[in-house]
Structure formats: C-alpha cells, structure tokens
Amino acid sequence: MTKRLFIIILIIFSVGLNILLAGYSFWAGIELAKSSKSAHAQEANEKAVRFAKLFVNKFLMGQGTVGFEDRLALENAVRDIQDPEIFKAWQSFTTSPDDRQAQVAAGRLLNLLFGKPE
C-alpha cells in the first residue's frame, strides 16, 4: 500500500512538473518571438539610418553631380532596407524630372526614413 501511494504521488508530481515545464516553454517561445521581432526592427532602423546618412552626405551636402559609384552605393543601401514604401520613394526621387519635384521626393523619402514607427 505504501509503495502504491508513493508511485501515485510520484506520477502526480511528474505530471505537475511536465505541465509547469510546458508552460515555461510556451512562455519562452513567446518571448523569443518578441525579441526576434525587436531585433529585426532594430536592424531595419540601422539600415535606414545608414542610407539616410549616405543620402545626406552624397546628395544634400555633396558638391556637384553625384557619381555612378555613389549612386550605386545609395541604390544598394536603399534595397538593403527591404521596405517597399521607402524604395518607391527612392525611385520617385531618382526619376524626378525637375529640381522642384526632386526636392519634394527627397523630403518624402527622408520623412519615411526618420518617421517610420518600428
């Protein structure tokens, strides 16, 4: 009888421990997903800041025409962000027919880069 009681208590303890560990595992999975999403957002923000710095240095503060190498670096940097809205704004800027439209497109692009909530 005592041995049987001991086995029952051991089984109940084991089941309870399994439930506790399953709950902890589920909670840890949720926290991991949150951390992964946060890390991805931070990486995207860092890429956007890198592109914005390059854009400001080459286009806004640059002297004269922007060379092919610089345009290629900017194009690669904006593609690296992997945001269709920012890429569309970049294309709008690069295909602007005159200075006024390019200025407006540059403003929209910078607003997207710095105002995008992540």
Q: Is the model's pLDDT at 117 over the cut of 80?
A: no
The mean pLDDT value for 29-37 works out to: 91
pLDDT at position 64 over 80: no
High-pLDDT (> 70) share of the chain, %: 97
Residue 47 clears pLDDT 60, i.e. is over it? yes
Measured in degrees and rounded to the nearest 5, phi and psi for residue 82 equal: 60, 45
Check whether 66 has a pLDDT greater than 90: no
50 vs 17: CA distance, rounded Å: 49
Task: Report residue 116's pLDDT band, with 50, 70 and 90 as the boundaries.
Answer: low
pTM: 0.67
CA dihedral 9, 13, 18, 20 (to 10 degrees): 150
Integer Cα distance of 52 and 110 in angstroms:
7
